[in-house]
Structure formats: structure tokens, C-alpha cells
């Protein structure tokens, strides 16, 4: 699977603490390995973020991505619940 990042994701990534960056990388690794059904709570978003999906990276940390096709996703945003939904 190919992963690309949106410029907004890159900016938000730079603002994360080192600990949060490690959490995000661990969640993405599980996602790519296909071990994500329950632990990562992957689900499609509604409203203004439709058709993006959300991954829980632990605690209050979320990753939003867009599935372009079976082999390609674009990471759109990353941050805490409040940062993403306010």
C-alpha cells in the first residue's frame, strides 16, 4: 500500500510531541499490517469530513485519511480530537 501525506497533515505532524509521533507511527504500522479492526477503531467519518476515515492512535489522538483506491491512501490530518473537530 502506498501512503502519501497532505500538506495539512505535514504541518500538524510537525506540531506533535515526540511521544505522539511515536504513537501515530505505531498505529500506522498496525493499520498497514491489517491488524486494525478493533484496536484502532477505524471508521468512516460523516458530515464535513466525509468520505475520510479516522484511525485512533491511542488516547485522544486521531489520524484522518482518504482511501483513493485499494493500494493508496492519503493522510489528511493528525491531532487530538479537539484539534480535529473544533
SS (H, E, C) 3-20: EEECHHHHHHHHHCCHHH
Residue 36 has pLDDT above 70, yes or no: no
Answer whether 27's CB lies under 8 Å from 63's CB.
yes
Mean pLDDT of the chain: 93
Cell output for 12: 500538524
**55 confidence band (pLDDT: 50, 70, 90):** very high
User: For the segment 8-27, what is each residue's pLDDT rounded down to a tens digit?
Assistant: 999 999 999 999 999 999 99
CA atoms of 85 and 35, how far apart (whole Å)? 26
**37 confidence band (pLDDT: 50, 70, 90):** low
Question: What pLDDT was estimated at residue 67?
Answer: 95
Amino acid at each position: 500500500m502506498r501512503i502519501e501525506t497532505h500538506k495539512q497533515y505535514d504541518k500538524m505532524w510537525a506540531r506533535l510531541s515526540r511521544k505522539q509521533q511515536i504513537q501515530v507511527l505505531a498505529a500506522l504500522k498496525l493499520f498497514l499490517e491489517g491488524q486494525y479492526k478493533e484496536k484502532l477503531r477505524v471508521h468512516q467519518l460523516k458530515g464535513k469530513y466525509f468520505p475520510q476515515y479516522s484511525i485512533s492512535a491511542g488516547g485522544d489522538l486521531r489520524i484522518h485519511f482518504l482511501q483513493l483506491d485499494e493500494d493508496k491512501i492519503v493522510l489528511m490530518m493528525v491531532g487530538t480530537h479537539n484539534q480535529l473537530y473544533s
